[in-house]
Chains A and B, each alone.
Chain A
Amino acid sequence: MTVPLTLLGLLEREPSHGYDLKRDYDTYFGRGKPLPFGQVYATLGRLARDGKVIGGDAEPGAGPDRKRYAITQTGAREFDAWLTQPIEPEPHLQTVLFSKVVLALMLGRPAETYLDTQRAAHLRRMRELTTIKRTGGLMDALLADHGLFHLEADLRWIDVTSARLDALAEMVRTS
């Protein structure tokens, strides 16, 4: 969802070829998941169609597309609005974790074991992210931190829910 807006942001910096955009995207935002060339050019095509970028004339050289793309005022406005507005803080009141715990209690399944298993899975992922943080550069560390803080929030919820499981089970049984 953020690929078109990210490409707009890269073009706001300076007009670029598709190849350069892909290289910069992969360097800063790809983190092991490179953007396919096809998606780069398809996205640029849609942005050009919607008047958010313009492609220059094709330049001589090898490769499928040697156009240099530049952001338009429309594109710059859209990028600016996206960048300056906070994203929706989602309360996640109906998380998968919550649903699983309540369903487990409804069905008389071992909810505590499920929570322990989930905690183990979360901690395993946190170990992986911590290793990335310790061995990678600053960009890797910041991205790993984002994941770690989210996982930590889940874990706190798991711990609190685990402590309140008896009360929750009673509520589920009687409601």
Chain B
Amino acid sequence: MTSLNLSAPHPLIEARDVCRSFGSTSALSGASLSVASGEILAVMGPSGSGKSTLLHCLAGIFTPDSGEVWFDGQRLDTLGDDKRTKLRRTAFGFVFQFGQLVPELTVADNIALPLLLDRVSRKAAYARAAAWLPRLGLDDLGARRTGELSGGQAQRVALARALVTRPKVLLADEPTGSLDTLTGEMVMDLLVSIAREEGTTVILVTHDARVAAYAEREVMVRDGKVISHSDLEVEVGR
């Protein structure tokens, strides 16, 4: 394999030689990756390649069996549960394929939820939640229960909920996986536009090349290791 350069110039988040197994199944076997502050990175790879496990390790949800995870100059994988949980709530935002909203609550409730959990006052939390509605084209939907929304609307609410705490990093795992092409593109367009406006670092896990093309750089995860495409970009003669 081509020699790899996986370092970002000013890394905000890094995995260093991370290994993680589930029982006898190895999901990551020496995965290294660094993501610069403000960068929008796509992590690609086939099903079962380890890309979601890598995302969960970067987010401090999974602890590596070996290797290190660094975030903003501090070692994440050795932090205690409480500190990691707090960091996830304040510095990281998450968007998944589906199932992340509370269907019985309204759009405004769902967006305000991370702020309320972080003990922001109810009034301030709902004011901040309301400010996100027009940015995501949800102006008239604040009082609607999320169980009544279309897939595209629900993902926009999920995006608002992930960003309402102004996280440094947005971790998105197949965020358009349950949407049709045009709706998925609308969500990606909003995600990228807002991330750039806010200076948010985005790590986007996807198997979909059209989604990955919204990122500034992509890496492949294969057999539990990370392959950087930027090391392979040479002209290919036809």
Task: Answer yes or no: A73 CB below 8 A from chain B CBs.
Answer: no
A47 at the interface (CB under 8 A from B): no
- CA–CA, A148 to B181, complex, Å? 12
Residues of chain A within 8 A (CB-CB) of B220 are 116, 119
- On chain B, the number of residues with a Cβ less than 8 Å from chain A's Cβ atoms is 23
Classify chain A: how many residues form its interface, as a range.
20 to 34
Distance A124 CA – B235 CA, assembled complex (angstroms):
11
B16 at the interface (CB under 8 A from A): no
Docked complex: B199-224 residues within 8 A CB-CB of A: 209-210, 212-216, 218, 220
Q: A112 CB to closest chain B CB, in angstroms?
A: 8
Across chains A and B, the number of contacting residue pairs, with CB separation under 8 Å, is 52
A117 and B236 in contact, given A130-B214, A159-B46, A163-B46 (Cβ under 8 angstroms): yes
Q: Which of A34-85 contact B (CB under 8 A)?
A: none
Is A17 an interface residue, CB under 8 A from the partner?
Answer: no
Contact B209 A122 (CB under 8 A): yes
- Does A155 contact B209, Cβ atoms closer than 8 Å? yes
B189 on the interface (CB 8 Å rule)? yes
Q: With A155-B209, A159-B46, A163-B46 in contact, is A117–B214 under 8 Å at CB?
A: no
Chain A residues with CB below 8 A from B209, complex form: 122-123, 126, 151-152, 155
Question: Which residues on B sit within 8 Å (CB–CB) of A87?
Answer: none
Residue with the highest number of chain A CB atoms closer than 10 Å, among B216, B218, B232, B235: B232
Docked-complex contact A148 and B236, CB < 8 angstroms: no
Find A113's partner among B46, B212, B230, B232 (CB 8 Å cutoff): B232
User: In the complex, what residues of A have CB within 8 A of residue B230's CB?
Assistant: 120
Interface of A is mostly: helix
Q: Give B99 Cβ to nearest chain A Cβ, in Å.
A: 27
Contact of B233 among A113, A120, A126 (CB under 8 A): A120
A152 to B181, CA, bound (A): 13
Residues of B within 8 Å of A124, CB to CB, are 233
Contact status A134-B236, CB under 8 Å: no
Cβ-neighbour of A152 out of B210, B232, B233 (below 8 A): B210
Contacts of B192 in A (CB 8 A): 134
Which listed residue (A116, A122, A127, A134) contacts B227, Cβ 8 A? A116
Closest to B42 in A: A123
Bound Cα distance from A113 to B1, whole angstroms: 7
Q: Return B236 CB to nearest CB of chain A, in Å.
A: 5
Interface check A96, CB cutoff 8 A: yes
Which positions in B face A, CB cutoff 8 Å?
1-2, 46, 189, 192, 209-210, 212-216, 218, 220, 227, 229-230, 232-236, 238
A–B complex contacts, Cβ < 8 Å, 11 sampled: A113-B232, A116-B220, A117-B234, A117-B236, A119-B220, A119-B229, A120-B229, A121-B235, A130-B213, A152-B209, A159-B46
